[in-house]
Amino acid sequence: MRVLFLGPTYPQEMLQFTRGLAEVGAKVYGVGDSPRRALPASVRPHLEDYLEVPRILDEDAVIERASAWLRGRQIDRVLTNWEPTVLLAARLRERWGVPGMSVDAVTGFRDKQLMKERVAAAGVRVPKSERVVRQSAADTDSVRAAASRIGLPLIIKPIAGAGSADTYSCRDQAQLDAAIEATRHVQDLSVEEYIEGEEFTYDTICVDGQPVYENVAQYLPKPLEARSHEWISPVIITVRDMHQAKIQNGVALGRQVLKALGMGDGFTHMEWFYTPKGEAVFGEIGCRPGGARLVDQMNYTGDVDLFREWARASCWKAFEAPTARKYNTGIVFKRAKGRGRITRIDGLETFKRQHRGFVIEDELLRPGTARRDWKATLVSDGYLMIRHPDWDECKRMCFAAATDITMYAE
C-alpha cells in the first residue's frame, strides 16, 4: 500500500497520523512545504520519501510537482487530514485515477453553502443561509441585503473556512456593521441563521460512508462565545454516555448528513446544536478530524489509538479498536493575563494535587515562554486534559481548572 500523505508534519497532529499510516503497513510518501532538513526526527522513520514544495496551498503547482516526482511509481491512496488541503487531495486522486472521494463529494464538505443545500435536500434541519460573493472589499450592500432576508440574530462566516476563523455572531445592528467591516477581506461569505442552544460535535471514522467509530463532545461555552472573550478558558468534553436521548438525536442527524454528502473512508468532524425545544440542528461538517487535540481526547475516552485506526480504515477498510467508552474526557484551554512572556502560573500545583489521577496531560506554557495569539489558535497558552467516568465530576473538575488556575504574562 503506497500512500501519498499531504502535510505529514503540519499541523502537529499530522505527525501522529503519519505514524499511524506506517504502523498499518503503508509506505508513506509525504508532500509538504516544511523543509526536508527540518523534518522532526519522530516522523522520519515513518516516511518512505518526502517531496518539499514551495507552497502546499498552490494546488496546481503541487499537482505538477508531485506528478513528476512520482512518475513510474504507483500510488494507492491520496490522504490528508488538514482542512485547507482536502480539495487538493481529491484533485490528485482524480488526476491519477486513485480510489477515494471525488472533487464533487469533497466540495460538499468544504463549501458551507453547498453543504447546507445538499443536507437540506435530504430532509435534515439546517440553519437558513445565503451565499454572498462580494464583488470587492467595498461591497457591503450584498452582505446587508442577505442579512435583512435572514434576520437577526445571524452568523457571518467564510464559505470555505475552518474552525471559527473570520466567524462572527450578530445580535444587533452594531454587531452586524462590525462583522461586515471585519470580513472585508473575505470574498465568499455565508450569512446564516443563529441557532440558540447547546453546541456539540459528532465525530466519526467511516468505511464506505458507514461509521465504524462515533464520538460526541460538548463545547462549553459555544466556540463563537469563547473566541469573543479573552478571559474565557474554553472547555470541550467528550461524552461517555452516548445513549442519552439528546445525544442520540445528534448521532441520528450525523448519520443522515454522512449519507447526504456521500462520505467515503476516513475521519469526519461535524458540529450541531441542541435547541431549547429539543431539536437537533445541523451546523457544519468537514471530511477530516477535529483539531485542537480532539483526537487525543477521543483516544483517552476509550484508551484507543485513533491515529492508527484512521489509517487502517483509510488503507484497508478495517477498524480493530474497541469502541467502548470508559471516560468523559475534558480539555481546558488557558489564556494568560497580560502580554509578552509567561511569568507565573497560580493554582496549578494545588489543582493537580487535589485531582491526582484525573489530570492526564499538563501542556500549559511555562514561565519564560512567549504568549500565543489567542485569536489565532484555540490551544492558546496551553491546556490541561482531565478525565473521569462520571460526567458531572469531569465537568466540575474542568470548570475548576478554568476558574482556579491563572496564568500571567506581566
Residue-wise pLDDT for 87-119, tens only, equals 999 999 999 999 999 999 999 999 989 999 999
Beta carbons within 8 Å of 162's beta carbon, 6+ residues apart: 83, 84, 286, 291
For the stretch 368-399, pLDDT in tens is: 999 999 988 889 999 999 999 999 999 999 99
Band the pLDDT of 162: cuts 50, 70, 90: low
Q: Is a pLDDT exceeding 80 seen at residue 86?
A: yes
Residue 324 phi, psi dihedral angles, 5° rounding:
-65, 140
Mean pLDDT of 112-138: 90
Q: Is a pLDDT exceeding 80 seen at residue 185?
A: yes
HEC readout, 192-250: EECCCCEEEEEEEEEECCEEEEEEEEEEECCHHHHHHCCCCCCEEEECCCCCCHHHHHH
**End-to-end CA, the chain:** 53
Mean pLDDT of 347-352: 98
Rounded (10°) CA dihedral 357, 363, 367, 368: 160
Mean pLDDT of 244-260: 97
The whole-angstrom separation of Cα 21 and Cα 284 is 27
Q: Is a pLDDT exceeding 80 seen at residue 361?
A: yes
Residue 94: predicted pLDDT: 98
C-alpha cell at 381: 497558552
Residue 134: predicted pLDDT: 82
For a pLDDT cut of 70, what percent of the chain falls above it?
Answer: 99
Give the Cβ contact number of residue 234 at 10 Å. Answer: 25
> How much is the pTM?
0.92
Mean pLDDT of 146-166: 83
Residue 163: predicted pLDDT: 58
Whether the ω angle into residue 234 lies within 30 degrees of 0, i.e. cis, is no
> Angle 103-110/245-261 helices, nearest 10 degrees?
140
C-alpha distances out from residue 219 to 139, 197, 284, 380, Å: 34, 11, 15, 16
Q: Which residues pair with 132 in a beta bridge?
A: 189
Residue 135: predicted pLDDT: 79
Amino acid at 265: D
Give the Cβ contact number of residue 183 at 10 Å. Answer: 21
Residue 213: predicted pLDDT: 98
